[in-house]
Structure 1
Amino acid sequence: MDRLMNNHWVMRIIALFLAIMLYASVNIESGSQGGTQSTNPFSSSPSLDKATVTDVPVVTYFDQENLVVTGVPETVNVTLEGPTVALTKARTVKDFEIYADLNNLSIGTHRVQLKVKNLSEDLEASINPSTITVSIEEKVTKDFPVEVDFTNEDKLEEGYTPDQPIVNPNSIRVTASKEVIDRIETVQATVNLETAKETINQESRITIYDSDGNILPVEVEPSVVDVTVPIKSPSKTLPFKISREGELEKGLSILSIEPNPKEITVYGPLDVLEKYEFLDGIKVDLSEIQKDTSIEVDVPVPEGITKVSPEKIKIEIDVEEQQEKVFSSKKIQEVGLSEGKVFDYIDPDSGAMDLTVYGATSVINEIKSDDIELYINLSDLADGEHEVEVQVNGPQNLTWSLQKEKVKVRISSAS
């Protein structure tokens, strides 16, 4: 072995072999990176392959600021042929581009050849379709009002209806060719009304239609608008009762209490509205009134009602110095006596008593005895003697005092 290693010819042969191997290795690597065929005498020719890349986007070059182009497909299919390595890379990365150069074309219709760029020199490309027909037109911009299209209006609950919608902004700007602009029939934002019971606030996408109901693909600014649709619920207008709490300062009397408005509109389901004939719960505290006053009070929302309108009312309260008037021996009426029963007054045996009324001067001056009733309620009373409270029924803005609060009566069965 040592003799072989010391032989000059053997060493020269080994060195030549190593040099050839190194040269081949370098050329194989550079050939795979550069896409050129290796000249390595020990390597085989690169294998060729063929494949179709689908849905490759088409890029269009033209004056987008002033022109509109139609007829360019969004994507095409490209068949590639060449070395397997380069083909695999192109299919995976898709770093090549299919384009239509329209920069030097005039307004009108043209047949245009699609081209490819940024493709490896080792590959050949076949585009399908390779030729397209394009239309180049002048770009036109025009403003259109936005209409609101209601869907499922028939699914609103009974009594609920949509009011006039509010769109913000109420017009949009459409950019397209003059031919497309002339075809525009309506610009719509859609709102779904299904089961709506209160105001709808939503963002709606703009859709452009022609006269046949076809959607037109145009440039829209803005493409989304804010839409507000008030939903009117069933309503009923009701009178209301003002409850008086507390007492006026001594020496004063109510001349008038005038609300504004005199009726309240309530909203809610129809079956709930049917239960109400008037609105209760509006209160005035007389202890806070010392002179002619205007106050604002809240309107209560009854059970089952969704809202009231207005939510507050104004009440004008006018007061005057208090005066009094006495009605002597005012007859007491009876109500509610059961059938087959009779009664007699024991105290007072006359069945009458004095009544003093208090009120503003202008009210007292006009009040008459017939304007006030005294009565006792005898319903559900058995035979025997009873003390019964005397009730007074008279005009508003009066107070009164009785000679006595109760009377004694005797009830017996008719013979």
Structure 2
Amino acid sequence: MDRLIENRWVMRIIALFLALMLYASVNIESDSSSNQSQSPFFSSSTTDKATVTEVPVVTYFDQENLVVTGIPEYVKVNLEGDRSALTKARQTKDFEIYADLNNLSIGTHQVRLKYKNIPGNLTATINPSVITVTIEEKVAKDFQVEVDLLNEDKLEEGYTPDQPIVNPNSVRVTASQNIIDQISSVKAVVNLEEGTETINQESRITVYDKDGRILAVEVEPSVVDVTVPIKSPSKSLPFKINREGELGKGLSISSIDPEVKEITVFGPLDVIDELQFIDGLSINLNTITKDTVLEIDVPIPEGANKVTPEKLKINVDVDEQEEKSFKAQSIKPVGLSNGKIIDFIDPDSGKIDITILGASSVIKDIDASDIELYINLSDISDGEHDIDVFVNSPQNITWELQKKKVKVKISSD
């Protein structure tokens, strides 16, 4: 033994072994100390807590025959566990909170909410965890749909809504009998703001109780079609029918009788207020050989929206032409300036003959007092002038004058 101790190689080996042991001992203590000091950090990085809000509640029950009330739309879920699993659960919300009512009878019950699809390394607490639900038999009832018209005061001046048309005009509401009894109205809403023509829109059905609170019920259909005619300002106006062409020889018009006496124009107030009559209606006489019913388009005045009727039917009756003569009809001067004197030169009597032509039914009752001959002397200077003779007469006749022009002399007092 002494020899071994005295052997320097043995001592060197023992010293090396002791040094290695000492080094290992120091490092193990250092690692242990380091692990102990860092353990709280690691613990917090792998385990955490979080609250997930607005988690929907799924309900399992006989939805075809039963109605359930008292189920909250959302709940809070407190999760605790592995941080990575917790983060994923918060982001995806792929777990489910549910109430299983399949085995419960009609009535009121205390039900504990449950969860599924939550990872095993997480624990979950639901808030609220227990709910009170009422299970009732499902009842269906039909209700007429009312229409709420919004912003009627924002229609343009003079525009008014007519009776709304709803299709379908009734809907079926399904709920518990208790809820059905609370229903006061079933409504669709239409916004009229700045409407100037018929409004057609789809409108969602809303069900209200007597206090105006919205009731969450099943409605079929939940959306209806609503039509609201918008009546624009209107004005009824007379109209003028112009005649184009001529009837065939030997024919005269006995009557032109439109089916209506006035045309209604719709449009902005500032447009229709200026209108006095409807012009632009005309019939072509060239093609008429017998009693005829014509249908012509009614023109829409500039700036107006529409007219009623859009087409006008006109009964045109014709007859064989006859004639009637009136001798020495006086010619009336009109438009003569103050201080001027007229003398008829040719004819010096200031009278000419006129023959009227027309259907027998038209001319038979016309006498001399119904025929007026006149000349227009507006802006005529002193001197002799040949002036056109004009005729005022009942309608649907033509005429032949002894003279189409007369010679007059204008002089000053």
TM-score by length of 2: 0.87
Aligned to 1:135: 134
Aligned to 1:238: 237
Deviations 1:285-335 (A, max 9, x none): 111110011111111111122110000111111111111111121111111
Aligned to 1:407: 406
1:51 positional shift? 2.6
Aligned to 1:395: 394
Measure, in 2, the Cα distance between the counterparts of 1:321 and 1:86.
105
Measure, in 2, the Cα distance between the counterparts of 1:350 and 1:390.
14
SS of match in other structure, 1:91 = helix
SS of match in other structure, 1:154 = helix
Measure, in 1, the Cα distance between the counterparts of 2:312 and 2:176.
57
Aligned to 1:381: 380
Deviations 1:130-173 (A, max 9, x none): 11111111111111111111111111122111001111111111
Q: Which amino acid letter does the alignment assign opposite residue 224 of structure 2?
A: V
Over 3 Å counting, the alpha-carbon distance change for 1:91 and 1:237 in structure 2 is closer
Aligned to 2:344: 345
Aligned to 1:117: 116
Alignment of 1:220-235 (within 5 A): 220-235=219-234
Deviations 1:157-192 (A, max 9, x none): 221110011111111111111111111111111111
1:218 positional shift? 1.1
Q: Which amino acid letter does the alignment assign opposite residue 360 of structure 2?
A: T
1:374 positional shift? 0.5
SS of match in other structure, 1:179 = helix
State the identity %. Answer: 70
Is residue 321 of structure 2 the alignment partner of residue 328 of structure 1? no
SS of match in other structure, 1:217 = coil
Q: Which amino acid letter does the alignment assign opposite residue 327 of structure 2?
A: S
Measure, in 2, the Cα distance between the counterparts of 1:152 and 1:89.
48
Measure, in 1, the Cα distance between the counterparts of 2:266 and 2:53.
60
Deviations 1:346-383 (A, max 9, x none): 11111111111100122222221111111111111111
Measure, in 2, the Cα distance between the counterparts of 1:293 and 1:88.
88
Structure 1 gap ranges (5+):
1-43
Over 3 Å counting, the alpha-carbon distance change for 1:321 and 1:216 in structure 2 is same
Over 3 Å counting, the alpha-carbon distance change for 1:377 and 1:99 in structure 2 is same
Aligned length in residues: 372
Measure, in 2, the Cα distance between the counterparts of 1:158 and 1:232.
11
Measure, in 2, the Cα distance between the counterparts of 1:400 and 1:384.
30
Q: Which amino acid letter does the alignment assign opposite residue 257 of structure 2?
A: E
Q: Which amino acid letter does the alignment assign opposite residue 245 of structure 2?
A: G
Q: Which amino acid letter does the alignment assign opposite residue 69 of structure 2?
A: T
SS of match in other structure, 2:403 = coil
1:120 positional shift? 2.8
Q: Which amino acid letter does the alignment assign opposite residue 103 of structure 1?
A: N
1:271 positional shift? 2.1
1:80 positional shift? 2.2
1:87 positional shift? 3.5
Measure, in 2, the Cα distance between the counterparts of 1:47 and 1:225.
55
Is residue 301 of structure 2 the alignment partner of residue 296 of structure 1? no
Aligned to 1:316: 315
Is residue 259 of structure 2 the alignment partner of residue 260 of structure 1? yes
Aligned to 2:105: 106
SS of match in other structure, 2:212 = coil
Aligned to 2:182: 183
1:127 positional shift? 1.1
Over 3 Å counting, the alpha-carbon distance change for 1:322 and 1:51 in structure 2 is same
Comparing 125-134 with 91-100, greater Cα deviation is found at 91-100
Aligned to 1:281: 280
SS of match in other structure, 1:272 = helix
Over 3 Å counting, the alpha-carbon distance change for 1:355 and 1:169 in structure 2 is same
1:240 positional shift? 1.0
Is residue 117 of structure 2 the alignment partner of residue 126 of structure 1? no
1:57 positional shift? 1.9
Aligned to 1:251: 250
Measure, in 2, the Cα distance between the counterparts of 1:347 and 1:151.
76
Alignment of 1:146-225 (within 5 A): 146-225=145-224
Measure, in 2, the Cα distance between the counterparts of 1:274 and 1:96.
69
Aligned to 1:77: 76
Structure 2 gap ranges (5+):
1-42
1:94 positional shift? 3.2
Is residue 371 of structure 2 the alignment partner of residue 372 of structure 1? yes
